[in-house]
Amino acid sequence: MTAVAIDGPAGAGKSSVARAAAKRLGYIYVDTGALYRAVGLKFLKSGADTTLNCDIQSVLDNTVVEIKFINGEQRVMLDGNDVSDEIRTPEASKMASAVSAKPQVRAFLLEMQRKAAADNNVIMDGRDIATVVLPDAEVKIYLTASAEVRAERRYKELIEKGADVSLDEVLSDIINRDNADMNREIAPLKKADDAVLADTSDCSFDESVELIVGIIKERVE
Ligand code: DC
């Protein structure tokens, strides 16, 4: 089985680029952020807020998160229900970020991620895939773009959806998230020493996919 680990900051286009690259190569794409989002949703449903002033382990002891692949597409199950759409709300995003800083939550999701890579040829994306989850992955990529470029891409998406935001707001949100992800105590976002740096600041979506597919082919074939 071949494992490709792709890490990088929020808004770098990891998921869409990784999904397209996986399709091209016939690999399964595993989005680990969705697992943190499912756990975040569970805490939201349990009545917790982002301070997580609750007994985290006892909530986890009553939580079942599963990944399923339907026609090659990942679905995420929480306590037997498909929550793949529900985890995309802004509330679930905030809770995902809060729970992802908790060691109990990271431990809870670790084996599930490793098992997904043991059973399939995968491209797995997240924040700590190359550094913690799959340190022996055949290919490690750190996919990034400048904060300004990521903010512009996100801003365009939000405006298309009819949101009322300014570019400055989106940029400061991205910078804050980078700081939170890179400076948390446990499994912080960082480039693994042996990861290839892929900076897509000057790339279109198609060029980004080409870049990633090229890096993978060079190392695997
Ligand atoms: O990639 P995303 O936005 O769906 O991730 C949701 C949250 O989970 C985000 O705050 C970062 C966190 N996360 C993480 O800590 N480790 C991962 N491997 C994937 C996501």
pLDDT digits (tens, 9 = 90+) for 189-203: 999 999 999 999 999
CA 100 to ligand 1: nearest atom: 15
Among protein residues, the one whose CA lies closest to atom 13 of ligand 1: 33
Q: What number does the ligand 1 atom closest to the CA of 34 have?
A: 4
Q: Which long-range contacts (CB under 8 A, 24 or more apart) does 188-192 make?
A: 188/127, 188/128, 189/7, 189/8, 189/9, 189/127, 189/128, 190/131, 191/7, 191/142, 192/5, 192/7, 192/130, 192/131, 192/135, 192/140, 192/142
Report which secondary-structure segment, H or E, holds 74: strand 73-78
What average pLDDT does range 1-23 have in this prediction?
Answer: 94
CA-CA-CA-CA dihedral for 32, 108, 97, 13, to nearest 10: -10
Residues with Cβ within 6 A of ligand 1?
Answer: 10, 32-33, 36-37, 96-97, 100, 126-129, 181
Instruction: Classify 206 in phi/psi space as left (phi over 0), alpha (psi -120 to 50) or beta.
Output: alpha
Task: List the beta bridge partners of residue 182.
Answer: none
Dist. CA 38–CA 76, nearest whole Å:
7
Residue nearest to atom 20 of ligand 1 (CA): 33
Whether pLDDT at 221 is above 80:
no
User: Which domains are present in the chain?
Assistant: 3-220 (3.40.50.300)
pLDDT class for 87, splitting at 50, 70, 90?
Answer: very high
Q: Which ligand 1 atom is at minimum distance from the Cα of 7?
A: 18
pLDDT at site 184: 86
User: For residue 214, how far is its CA from the centre of ligand 1 (angstroms)?
Assistant: 25
Confidence of residue 11 (pLDDT cuts 50, 70, 90): confident
Choose one of 7, 30, 42, 100 to mutate for the ligand 1 pocket test, by most ligand atoms within 8 angstroms of C-beta.
100
- Predicted local distance difference test score (pLDDT) of residue 180: 84
The total number of residues shown for the chain amounts to: 221
pLDDT digits (tens, 9 = 90+) for 120-154: 899 999 999 999 999 999 999 999 999 999 999 98
Q: Span 43-72, mean pLDDT?
A: 95
Q: Are residues 190 and 182 in contact, defined by beta-carbon separation less than 8 angstroms? A: yes
pLDDT confidence band for 89 (50 / 70 / 90): confident
Across all residues in the chain, what is the average pLDDT? Answer: 94
Mean pLDDT of 46-60: 96
9, 173 Cβ separation under 8 angstroms: no
CA distance 157 to 155: 5
- SS3 of residue 209 by DSSP: helix
Confidence class for position 48, pLDDT limits 50, 70, 90: very high
